[in-house]
Structure 1
């Protein structure tokens, strides 16, 4: 059984974190909030084969929606600027 994870942030370092999490094929990206720009946000999700319904424009919206799903995420990776890590993590 694979662990499932979400990602908050879509900068360059995000790709490294996804690759590291999926390296041993025991985890899979399932949801995320990648950019404030909706086109970039959806493109990032598309590039990783995500269901568009699990690509969110706001991390708080993501936390709420994902917590109600029967297939909840196992963990979330936060790749936003360091100053924003605490408020993002607090939502989850």
Structure 2
């Protein structure tokens, strides 16, 4: 899907900043993540849980427009010896 840069006037930027600050206040959102949360995130990044099956040898491809940065789905097609195709489909783990 094509993306276009968002252009905002200074007045619109100020209004957005004000609205976001009100939302943070209304939701009582913390201004930063607490230290235990940051520590847990760092630990998870150091020791990621890998999938049970390693399919990194398959040459997956994505069907995305040029310049896309949202490559969260991919596929690989493989011709089967008896005819037909085997389809491998990969989707990012959120």
TM-score between the two structures when normalised by the length of structure 2: 0.20
Greater share of helix: 1
Q: Which has the higher contact order (CA 8 A, sep 6+)?
A: 1
Q: Could you say which structure has the larger radius of gyration? A: 2
